[in-house]
Every structure is written in C-alpha cells, then in structure tokens.
Structure 1
Amino acid sequence: MRRTHDETKPAWKTTEFIAYVVVVLGVLIASLVVDGNGNGDNGAGGDFFRADRAWLYVVMLTIGYLVSRGLAKSGSRSTHN
C-alpha cells in the first residue's frame, strides 16, 4: 500500500483555524456590543470600538493566520491513504 503525502492537513482541521475564527467573531461581536455614542461611565466620553477599527483587527488577524499556515506548510507533512 502506498501512502500519499500532502504538505499539511487541511486548514479547517487545525486548531489555529478554530482559534482564528473564535477571535475574529470575538472582535466583530465586541465592535457591535461596545457603545459608540460616548455614553460610558468612565467620565472620559465613553468607550467606543468603531467598525473600521474592528475590520482592521480582522485584517491583521488574517495576515497572522496566513503567516502561521505558511510556516506550517514549510515544515510538516500529513499522510492519508
């Protein structure tokens, strides 16, 4: 029986993909939940987390995820039959 090799296992089977999805959802939910009207209780005009800042963080997370996948592909192998 001959085994074939991929560079890595599929991305959706990795823990870093699950962590990426959870953190992206957390950033987007936080941007929805935080009050953008400046009516916070801290006396400094309130907390705000605008959508443009949230999407910037999502882009940075995506770049980090892509770099981590590139590093994973450069050094490991997965086998399947």
Structure 2
Amino acid sequence: MATHTSTPTTDRDYAAPRRISTETKASFKTTELIAYLAAVVGVLLASAIVDASDFGAQEAWFYVTLLTIGYLVSRGLAKSGSRDFYDDDRGAGTHR
C-alpha cells in the first residue's frame, strides 16, 4: 500500500494580488491640471500684452481666481466618486 505525502501549503503562497484603490489619480497626472495651467498662463500673458485700459492686472487676477475656483471644484467632483485601482503584488507568487 503506497502512501501519498505532500508538503502543506498555505493560501498565502498562492494568493492572487490584492486589489487596492486610491481615491483618484494624482492631480499632476490629469489633463485638467494642464488645461488649468495653460488657461492661467494665457490670461496672464493677455493682460501683459494688451493695454492696461483694456485688460489690466486686476481683471487678469480676477479671472485667475475664477479659474482656480473652477479647478478646485472639478478636482473635488473627480475625487468624490471615482477610484484609481491597482494591484498590490507584494508577496504574491512567492512559492517555497
């Protein structure tokens, strides 16, 4: 009569990577940051190029403030309901 012997294994040895999420992508990875910065630079350049009686510094900084508020609101909305998933593969696939 033959006996079958095997080495015991744990579930951890063959576990799939955990699925982890952050709230959203980092802000510097988004196109909305690039669009925001381009708009701010555009407003400030426009105020520097045109005559102060047409579009002065006060109006330019008012528009930059409005752009900033819009950007912050858009990031808040993006963070409120989305997730950025990634796999945590620490220790996965380590067979002894």
Matching residue within 60, 63, 71 for 1:65: 71
Q: Which runs of 5+ in 2 are unaligned?
A: 1-16, 88-96
Runs (4+) of structure 1 moved beyond 2 Å? none
3-state SS of 1:3 partner: strand
The residue type paired with residue 55 of structure 2 is F
Count matched residues: 71
Q: How many Å separate the matches in 2 of 1:80 and 1:33?
A: 46
More relative contact order, 1 or 2 (CA 8 Å, 6+ apart): 2
Report the aligned-residue RMSD: 1.2
Q: Map 1:70-81; keep pairs closer than 5 Å.
A: 70-81=76-87
Q: Percent identity?
A: 61
Gaps of 5+ in 1: 39-47
Amino acid at match of 2:62: L
Q: 14, 17, 20: which is aligned to 2:33?
A: 17
Q: Quick check: which has more Rg, 1 or 2?
A: 2
TM-score by length of 2: 0.69
What whole-Å deviation, never above 9, does each CA across 1:17-72 have from its counterpart, x for those lacking one?
Answer: 11000000000000000022x5xxxxxxxxx2110110010000000000000100
Report the TM-score, using the length of structure 1 for normalisation.
Answer: 0.81
Task: Give 1 or 2: higher helix fraction.
Answer: 1
